[in-house]
């Protein structure tokens, strides 16, 4: 698989088998991803690899907060406060594809809530990767982090693994910091579910659309 094929075939996996991911695999993925570029070589990424009992403890705490209707308090705003076209439609279509793949109807609030709660378990993948950054860093470091995250996901593919990048895993950063003993100066940016894909699960069958290149590109001669 060449780099173009890897980028085109990567997708967000939301169902995993129980096959274990080795520590050596994770180390290889992160070592490769560490070659990603960053402004002035700041390398702002800090990664928490959460597995086993610690993962169960953390995800149970987050799910309990969600079930108790505790309002998320992410360290930064991921989405716009006011949605507008074309982003509103893309967001709606993305959600429809997800719920349609699981035959969950719009009025089925209970199953929609249950599916959303799966986010906080990293969709039951054996590995939850959490990404943190010192709070002194500024907007440029978010750009650096995006390149690092893509490298993580592509490197995972080289190991035969699937991923799902998750903003939802940063919705309760205080719980993460408390459970993993991080100071408040560490921002929680996002997470990635990591494991072997359950290719038979319906939730992994659909693919979101991408805009034609001509829709987002201007050429200036």
Grouped pLDDT means (10 residues each) for the chain, 221 residues: 94 97 98 98 98 98 97 97 96 92 87 92 98 98 98 98 98 98 98 98 95 97 96
What is the residue-wise DSSP string for 11-52? -B---B-SPPPPHHHHHHHHHHHTTS--GGG----EEEEE-H
pLDDT at 143: 98
Q: What is the CATH number of the domain that holds 45?
A: 3.40.109.10
The answer to whether residue 145 is domain-embedded is: yes
The answer to whether residue 90 is domain-embedded is: no
The answer to whether residue 146 is domain-embedded is: yes
The answer to whether residue 166 is domain-embedded is: yes
pLDDT at 137: 98
The answer to whether residue 109 is domain-embedded is: no
Q: State both tokens at 157.
A: 């593919």
Q: Domain count of the chain? A: 1
The pTM of the full predicted model, rounded to 2 decimals, is: 0.96
pLDDT at 205: 95
For residue 58, what are the domain limits?
12-78+120-206
The answer to whether residue 97 is domain-embedded is: no
Q: Which helix (H) or strand (E) holds 5?
A: helix 3-9
The answer to whether residue 135 is domain-embedded is: yes
The answer to whether residue 138 is domain-embedded is: yes
User: How many other CB atoms sit within 10 Å of the CB of residue 116?
Assistant: 12
Q: State both tokens at 90.
A: 């893309």
pLDDT tens-place string over residues 138-165: 999 999 999 999 999 999 999 999 999 9
């Amino acid at each position: 698989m060449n780099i173009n094929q890897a980028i085109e075939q990567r997708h967000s996996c939301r169902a995993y088998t129980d096959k274990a991911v080795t520590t050596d695999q994770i180390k290889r993925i992160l070592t490769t991803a560490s070659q990603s570029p960053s402004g002035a070589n700041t390398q702002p990424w800090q990664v928490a690899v959460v597995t086993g009992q610690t993962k169960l403890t953390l995800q149970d705490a987050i799910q309990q907060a969600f079930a108790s209707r505790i309002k998320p308090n992410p360290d930064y705003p991921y989405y716009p406060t006011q949605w507008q076209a074309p982003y509103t439609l893309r967001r709606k279509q993305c959600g429809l594809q997800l719920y349609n793949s699981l035959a969950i109807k719009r009025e089925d609030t209970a199953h929609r809530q249950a599916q959303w709660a799966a986010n906080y378990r990293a969709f039951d993948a054996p590995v939850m990767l959490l990404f943190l950054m010192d709070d002194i860093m500024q907007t440029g470091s978010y750009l650096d982090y995006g390149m690092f995250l893509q490298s993580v996901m592509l490197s995972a593919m080289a190991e035969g693994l699937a991923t799902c990048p998750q903003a939802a895993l940063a919705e309760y950063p205080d719980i993460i910091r408390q459970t993993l003993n991080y100071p408040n100066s560490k921002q929680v940016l996002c997470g990635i579910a990591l494991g072997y894909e359950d290719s038979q699960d319906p939730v992994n069958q659909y693919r979101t659309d991408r805009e034609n290149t001509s829709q987002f590109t201007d050429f200036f001669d």
